[in-house]
Amino acid sequence: MSSYSEDDAFEAAVPLSRRAMAARPAPYLDDLNPAQRQAVEALEGPVLMLAGAGTGKTKALTARIVHLLTTGSARPNEVLAVTFTNKAAREMKNRVGRMLGETVEGMPWLGTFHAICVKLLRRHAELVGLKSNFTILDTDDQIRLLKQLISASNIDDKRWPARMLSGIIDQWKNRAWTPEKVPAAEASAYNNRGTELYDQYQRRLRELNAVDFGDLLLHMVTIFQTHPDVLDQYQRWFRYILVDEYQDTNVAQYLWLRLLAGGHKNICCVGDDDQSIYGWRGAEVGNILRFEKDFPGATVVRLEQNYRSTAHILAAAGGVIRGNEGRLGKELWTEAQDGEKVRLIGHWDGEEEARWIGEEIEAMQRGTRGGRPVSLDEMAILVRASHQMRAFEDRFLTIGLPYRVIGGPRFYERLEIRDAMAYFRLVVSPSDDLAFERIVNTPKRGLGDKAQQKIQMCAREHGTSLLDGARILLQDKGLTGKGAARLAAFVEQIDRWHPIATAQAAAPQPMDEDALIMDDSAPARPAVSHMELAEVMLDESGYTAMWQADKTPEAPGRLENLKELIKALESFDNLQGFLEHVSLIMDNESEQEGAKVSIMTLHAAKGLEFPAVFLPGWEDGLFPSQRSMDESGLKGLEEERRLAYVGITRAEELCTISFAGNRRVFGQWQSALPSRFIDELPEDHVDVLTPPGLYGGGYGAAAAPQSNLHDRAAEANVYNSPGWRRMQARAGQRPIAQPRESRAPVIDLDAVSAYTVGDRVFHQKFGYGAIAAIEGDKLSVDFEKAGVKKVVAKFIMGADDVPF
C-alpha cells in the first residue's frame, strides 16, 4: 500500500510581485519563433498547438507558464499544468524557475493527472463515500481483493482469472464508466459477470477506504459531474490550464479537463497525432483531433520548424511516418545542417549488436570515431521491448560502461527475474533459505503464512535449512491436506534438479551446441544443458504457467524477460557460474556519479531528446511487435509506426538503427527479417554500414547503390548469406515473423543433406575440417585443429559458405 504526502497547495501559494516582474526583460519570449510566441501570448481562450516532434511545443508551453506568471495573469497556484510523467513535471518546474531567474514557490498543480487528482480527491473524498486519508492500492492488493470477490461468487478463477477482470475494470475506468455507466454492450464481459463484480469491487474499496489508480480520475470526474458547486470552485480557481502530450489522454482524463475548462475555456493543449503511442492503454488520439469542435474559436497554432534534429534525421522520420493513413500530415523543416545520415547496420545476432553498440559508444565518448567527443549523458539506447535491455546491460557491465535504465527496474531487478533466479539458487544450493522463502509459494501452492511459519519453526527446531525443515515437517505429518501434497511435490522437484545442476558445475566446459556434439572421447556430461534445466524448472514448477495465465498487460513482457534470462545463461558453463556473475553485477550496482548512457523503452522516451540515439532490434515481429499487430491489426501496426517516428525524432545529431539476423529464444536460433520500417526509410538519408568482421570489415563499405535499403542491409548482413540459409534449413526453424510474400524465402530446403564424404566444412567451435563419415544426421569430421569429432549436421556449414 502506498500513500501520498502532499502540501496544502492552496495555502502554500506565494503571489509573485507584479511590479518586479514587469520591470524585467522577457528573454523567454526572445527565444521563440512567431508561431510559438503567438501560442504563448494568446492567454485568453482555448489554444491548440498541434505540431510534429521537436518543434518546440513543450518549450512554448513552459514559456506560457512563465508568461502567465510574469504578466501577473495568474499566481503560481492558479495554474494547472499537466505533464505525462513525474520526470517531465520536475523538468518543467526547473525550466520555469530558470526562465524566471528564481526558484518557483508553489506551482503545486504542475504534475501528472494522477498526482494532481490525488490532491484533489483528498479534499473531497467524502463526496464519493471515502475518508480523506484513503489508501491507494497497488496492483497486487487490487488483485487480492478481486480474487476474494471472485471466489465468493463461485467463479472458477482458473478459467476467469482475477487479472483479466482487473484489466477489464481498468479499461472501463479509463473510459470514465462507473458501474452504473458500463454500457449494455459490455454485459458479456468476464463471463457475463463483469459489471456485477465491478460494482462489488467498488463497494468493497469504499468499505476499505481505498482507491485504485483508475479511481483517482474516475472519482474526480464523478464529483465534478454531480457537484456543480465543487466544479465551479475549481473552474474559478484554476484560471489557466495547460496540457502537454495531449494526444495520449484517455477518455477519463479528457472529460476531467473539459469539465475544468468549461467556464473560462483558458486551456492550452499541445501534442502531435503522429506521436500517439498509448492506444493500448486507452488513449484516444481523437481527443486532440476534436479539440476545435470541443472549444470553438480556438487559436490553432501550427509549428513546422524542427529545432532538434539534423535534416537527414528529420527526413528519415518523415519517410517512415508517411506510411500511416488518416494522419494530419504535417511537414517539418529545419535550418539545421544535413548532418550525418541515419546509419543502418545488420548484425549476426543480438549479442553482436550489443557489442558493436558498446564499442561505438566508447569510440564516440573518446572522440575517435571522428567528430566531437560525446558525453555518455548525451547518448541513449531506445528499445521496443524491455527484454532487449538485458544484452546491453550485460555487455556494459562487462566493459565497465556506466548506464542507467530509465522508467523501470534494471533487468536483474525485475520481479520475474528475481523469482526465476531464486529457483536457480535453491537448486544450486538447497540451503539458500531466502530463495526458498521467495518461491515456496510462487506460484501458489496453497502454502500460506501459517504453513510457512510451520516450516520455519521446524527448521529452527532441527537446526536445518528451510528445505530440510519442510522435509522433516512432511515426514512428521506436521502439515496435511492439499498444501502438504504440493509441498512434497516441490521438495521432490528440487531434489531431482539439484544433482543435475551439481553435475553440470563439475562437468567440463560445454559450449552452445555442445549438448549435441557426440564426442566419445569427452568425459560423461549430464544429458541436459543448464539452459534446458532452467527451462524445465520454470515449466515444471508452474512458474511459466503462472504468467501465461496472467491477463495483465505486463504478463507477456514478463514471459519475454524469462526467455531472455534463459538466453543469458548461454554464455556461462553452468547455473552456478551465472549466479556468480549476477551477484557481481548487483554488487557493482551502487550508484556511480558521473555521466551514463541511458537505456529505456521507446514509450519512456517520449518528449526527450539526445544528441546520439541507438535504435536496436528493428526486426519484424519484435518491431513492429507481432503481438500488437495480432491484437490490433492495422491499428496496431500504425501505432508501432508512430513509435518508430518517436524513436528517430529523439535524435539530434546521430541516429543509428540496427537489427540482428538471429536471436536465440529458449536455446533455439530463430532467424528474423529486418523490420518493414527499414524499407520505409528514405534511401537518400540513410547510410548502410557493413558489420565489422564481414568482408574484411570497415564501416561504410556499402553495397550496390541501386538496390533498395532492405536488400542492401540484408546483403551486408550474414543472415542472408547462403551458409546461413542452409543452416536455417537444416535446423528447420521458423523465423520469428513470417516473411512477406514479396520476399524470397529465407529457407532453402534443397540444401538439407547436401554433404558427401571429403567435403570441407566449418564448425563454429572447431573451425575447418573435412567430412570423414556420415551417419544419419551426424557427421564425423576431421577438424584441422581439433581432430576427429562427431557433430550434428545442422551445426556446420560448407567451407565456401562461411561469410567471414
Catalog residues that contact ligand ATP under the rule CB under 6 A: 31-33, 36, 53-59, 272, 275, 307-308, 607, 609, 649
Marked catalytic residue, from 275, 365, 576, 690:
275
Which does residue 59 touch among ligand ATP, Mg ion, none (CB within 5 to 8 A, set by kind)?
Answer: ligand ATP
* Minimum CB–partner distance for residue 598 and ligand ATP (Å): 15
**How far apart are alpha carbons 732 and 545 in whole angstroms?**
27
* Minimum CB–partner distance for residue 628 and ligand ATP (Å): 21
Which does residue 36 touch among ligand ATP, Mg ion, none (CB within 5 to 8 A, set by kind)?
Answer: ligand ATP
* Minimum CB–partner distance for residue 601 and Mg ion (Å): 17
Is there a contact between 212 and 109 (Cβ–Cβ < 8 Å)? Answer: no
**How far apart are alpha carbons 82 and 491 in whole angstroms?**
52
Does the N-terminal peptide bond of residue 691 adopt cis geometry, omega within 30 degrees of 0? Answer: no
Closest CA to 466 of 451, 444, 486: 451
Which does residue 617 touch among Mg ion, ligand ATP, none (CB within 5 to 8 A, set by kind)?
Answer: none
Give yes or no: 57 in active site.
yes
Which does residue 33 touch among Mg ion, ligand ATP, none (CB within 5 to 8 A, set by kind)?
Answer: ligand ATP
Give yes or no: 112 in active site.
no
Give yes or no: 482 in active site.
no
Which does residue 680 touch among Mg ion, ligand ATP, none (CB within 5 to 8 A, set by kind)?
Answer: none
Nearer to ligand ATP, 31 or 570 (CB): 31
Closest CA to 624 of 270, 280, 318: 280
DSSP collapsed to 3 states, 76-132: HHHEEEECCCHHHHHHHHHHHHHHHCCCCCCCCCEECHHHHHHHHHHHHHHHHCCCC
Contact between 55 and Mg ion by CB under 5 A: the answer reads: no
Does the N-terminal peptide bond of residue 745 adopt cis geometry, omega within 30 degrees of 0? Answer: no
DSSP collapsed to 3 states, 556-614: HHHHHHHHHHHHHHCCCCCHHHHHHHHHHHHHCCCCCCCCCEEEEECHHHCCCCEEEEE
Give yes or no: 444 in active site.
no
Give yes or no: 728 in active site.
no
Which does residue 452 touch among Mg ion, ligand ATP, none (CB within 5 to 8 A, set by kind)?
Answer: none
**How far apart are alpha carbons 698 and 688 in whole angstroms?**
12
* Minimum CB–partner distance for residue 526 and ligand ATP (Å): 53
**How far apart are alpha carbons 688 and 343 in whole angstroms?**
6
**How far apart are alpha carbons 10 and 4 in whole angstroms?**
17
Contact between 504 and Mg ion by CB under 5 A: the answer reads: no
* Minimum CB–partner distance for residue 60 and Mg ion (Å): 9
Give yes or no: 245 in active site.
yes
Contact between 607 and Mg ion by CB under 5 A: the answer reads: yes
Marked catalytic residue, from 36, 55, 57, 173:
57
Marked catalytic residue, from 308, 395, 650, 664:
650
Coil, strand or helix at 270: strand
Q: Which residue is nearest to ligand ATP (CB)?
A: 56
DSSP letter at 341? P
Return the number of other C-beta atoms located less than 10 Å from residue 655's C-beta: 30
Nearer to Mg ion, 54 or 358 (CB): 54
* Minimum CB–partner distance for residue 139 and Mg ion (Å): 29
* Minimum CB–partner distance for residue 330 and Mg ion (Å): 14
Stretch that binds Mg ion, among 58-66, 191-199, 615-623, 690-698 (CB under 5 A): 58-66
Half-sphere exposure of residue 344: CA atoms within 13 angstroms, side-chain side: 32
Stretch that binds Mg ion, among 148-156, 417-425, 478-486, 602-610 (CB under 5 A): 602-610
Return the number of other C-beta atoms located less than 10 Å from residue 777's C-beta: 12
Is there a contact between 294 and 265 (Cβ–Cβ < 8 Å)? Answer: no
Number of residues that bind Mg ion (CB under 5 A): 2
The number of residues making up the chain comes to 804
Contact between 58 and Mg ion by CB under 5 A: the answer reads: yes
Nearer to Mg ion, 178 or 247 (CB): 247
Sign of CA dihedral 725, 727, 730, 733: negative
Which does residue 542 touch among Mg ion, ligand ATP, none (CB within 5 to 8 A, set by kind)?
Answer: none
Nearer to Mg ion, 96 or 155 (CB): 96
Which does residue 55 touch among Mg ion, ligand ATP, none (CB within 5 to 8 A, set by kind)?
Answer: ligand ATP
Q: Which residues bind Mg ion (CB under 5 A)?
A: 58, 607
Known catalytic residues are 57-58, 244-245, 275, 650
